[in-house]
Chains A and B, each alone.
Chain A
């Protein structure tokens, strides 16, 4: 284990010895010094998501939280360039004033952490690459990053990409940085593609009878040219009274029946086209004689916020799993999860948020095997206080780990940045 070092510089350090560089030059100076002294550092932003991933094997902590602010926002060019630790709230606010948004619908992990909103910074969010409900239609965080600047593990300031959407100049490092958990560069600047906000939205609720029907609905929804921008399945877990009460409380809406399982899909756009799409979908899904209800825009918007805040798992003290699989295997997975774990399904049958009781931790291994067999993967997003890390929280095969080690080496040869945050050796 490395020892904490005191570097000879002007960089601000608080009473806990956390470094707060104020700009990219200070980040570069700091990392260059740490590189010289072989002394790794944890990299944090506003600490909203630092609970995700392994604990880093480092003695120092560097907070990039002072590197914040909007650099250049061009609504007509559909991009915003910000300093890396600009809060997502601040970005969403300024975009909203111009009727634009981050289309990947950032998840607010504050609710599962401590029961209140804390979206954190864009750098933290990009480092995790976890997109919200609209992902299956618009892409993930990585699909919305046009470029970045940052400091690699040797202290060199590097950049990649630019501000234009069509750019094939050199390797696309923006993709590599997305989801790298701060192990390749300390980000200092990020340019994002932004998109117009949709005029309105409505959500249709269906109360299906069995899993086959649910995944058949998902399949038809994703096969329709009347595009939807969100589709979830929220099961009723009557065997867990506490969770069931919480779930019914979270999804309390005038036009939503409580205490039953439901599928919800969202249609966004102009008001006339929303009606047209819903009518088309009702025909395609053969819903005209089914039990359905519709959430108007005033219910639809808060409904999807609750989904993307993971509010049913608010302040969970258990393990929270994020599993992504090809949607055709969704029905099999749902059958297994029923009566075993609390969960819900997003991304039209691809994404599963699963709560594994801290007393049943050995089940994570089974779930991981299932994820692999289904052609997907899982991540333990939040661990219970008793989690012993016997089962790694990320999924990686031997060859990908070998290549990841090589890539890590090329950015950060001495493993200065967030070592061990993802995998041992990376």
Chain B
């Protein structure tokens, strides 16, 4: 387990544990409150499993009214609350706190309404991302954002993280694909933003909530847009002899006016790892592999495939294969989708990074990562959503070796700083959570962060909802010289710091 600074523990809350558990048991079914050590263990971490914490108690409410009453009670008693969806988040956004209630939305697992006429689905937040598509696919519809964890991750968690996926260049991320949310604020107020119609008037509060990592409210219902499944989907699997040529081809595809449904890049290390793991038939001699997926009507896709083929040939591709059946298309993706387990098979642990960079900077970024890999003596494999600039370096290490873990975290942090230096950002889709909290100062200055904290304060004055996530501990930022604190005078002395 790695050390991380967390908000100061409120011992008065710890000492009231039995009273709190008793009260919670009155606010929901008694079986929905967990407080024994063995019951709490499964909730100690999310998918960023290097960090663990035991929550004070876990409560699993069954409806919005219960959520509201629980939050109202916690608000009045100054009890911190950490919301949790399916626990698949990679940035530690659902990491419990010892003096906080963990509010699990797992019982909110029903689709409430499928409305084909308005092209939307009203669902509870605990339904999985893929569960929505499964509910509508028999009528030829689907829900577009497809994070790689879509089998397990919940739509509520997707809203909290503004999750993307490989198709986000063409179809957008969660924020572009939801129409409305019902949310409960920390003081128990139930509110509704949006509905089944487009673009609610006034402040786009739904847009603010989406991607707020559970800091502003607990989402209890989501209305998502559904799209008609495209008639034809084809993919091209293209090998390149160098990173530069492959990167240039990807840039040229975009600048030629093509908007691929998905465009993925894998480097040599990952080609080998995935091909060993899943026998995907990837060109092992290639330095870089490009998968381009195009969708639309038949003639549209054929027209685009020809253009992609011409661009790749012009950029000296060493191999090019087009999918001629759905089975073949899925086989092209098989390796890419196994990228994480493939790395898992090569080392005891891997650490998945998530920066975004301008597409044209790929070669530069990969070169820099290679240098860092040599510096830290840790192997790394890279996959890249080339359509939208989202880079996922996978650092392989042994978590039992404390020194390696420390080096891995430092390596990861340097990669993200490189992304920022190249004009990108520290997180494309995994969220800031606790993992990248201290890197916020790489992107934002004091004013920017204070503005965001001030929004947090306006909606959760006591800072009880998911504290310690997303925003840096100011002192550390200041110590590192990235935030200007004039004469040690904080502009918001009343804002809680930890």
Contact = CB atoms under 8 A, between A and B. Distances in A.
13 contacts: A76-B255, A135-B199, A164-B423, A165-B356, A169-B440, A170-B444, A171-B208, A171-B211, A196-B257, A273-B299, A324-B201, A326-B120, A404-B203
A377 B168 CA distance: 29
Contacts of B119: 222-223, 327
B7 interface: no
Contacts, number: 259
B455 A169 contact: no
A78 B212 CA distance: 26
Contact of A269 (B116, B196, B300, B470): B300
Contact of A276 (B201, B299, B357, B455): B299
Scoring B176, B429, B457 by chain A CB atoms within 10 A of each residue's CB, the highest score goes to B176
Interface string A297-340: 00000000000000000000000000011111000000000000
B359 A77 contact: yes
A99 B255 CA distance: 10
A31 B78 CA distance: 37
Contacts of A275: 299
Contacts of A272: 299-300, 303
Contacts of B116: 223
A142 interface: yes
B385 A400 contact: no
Nearest first, the 9 A-B pairs at minimum CB distance are A175-B207, A196-B257, A166-B428, A76-B255, A273-B300, A326-B196, A328-B117, A410-B458, A406-B458
Interface stretch (B225-233, B235-243, B479-487): B225-233
A269 B208 CA distance: 34
Contacts of B185: 403
B204 to A, nearest CB: 4
Interface stretch (B63-71, B276-284, B445-453): B445-453
A140 interface: yes
A165 B164 CA distance: 10
Interface in B337-394: 356-360, 385, 388-390
B117 A327 contact: yes
B197 A350 contact: yes
A409 B197 CA distance: 28
A142 B255 CA distance: 23
A139 B175 CA distance: 10
A228 to B, nearest CB: 11
Q: Determine chain A's interface SS by DSSP, over half rule.
A: mixed
A399 interface: yes
B425 A277 contact: no
Interface residues of B, number: 92
Given A76-B360, A168-B431, 14 more contacts: A77-B358, A99-B257, A152-B451, A166-B428, A168-B428, A173-B451, A179-B201, A180-B203, A226-B231, A227-B228, A276-B297, A347-B198, A377-B197, A400-B202
Interface of A: 74-78, 99-100, 129, 131, 135-136, 139-140, 142-143, 152, 156-160, 162-176, 178-180, 184, 195-197, 219, 222-227, 269-270, 272-273, 275-277, 280, 324-328, 347, 350-351, 375-377, 379, 394-396, 399-400, 402-404, 406-407, 409-411, 422-423
A329 to B, nearest CB: 9
Contacts of B2: none
B358 A163 contact: yes
Interface in B440-498: 440, 443-444, 447-452, 454-455, 457-459, 470
Nearest to B389: A164
B54 interface: no
Contacts of B98: none
Interface of B: 115-120, 140, 161-162, 164, 168-169, 172-173, 175-176, 185, 189-193, 195-208, 210-212, 216, 228-231, 251-252, 254-255, 257-259, 296-300, 303, 356-360, 385, 388-390, 423-432, 436, 440, 443-444, 447-452, 454-455, 457-459, 470
B101 to A, nearest CB: 23
Given A163-B358, A276-B299, A277-B297, A379 B201 contact: yes
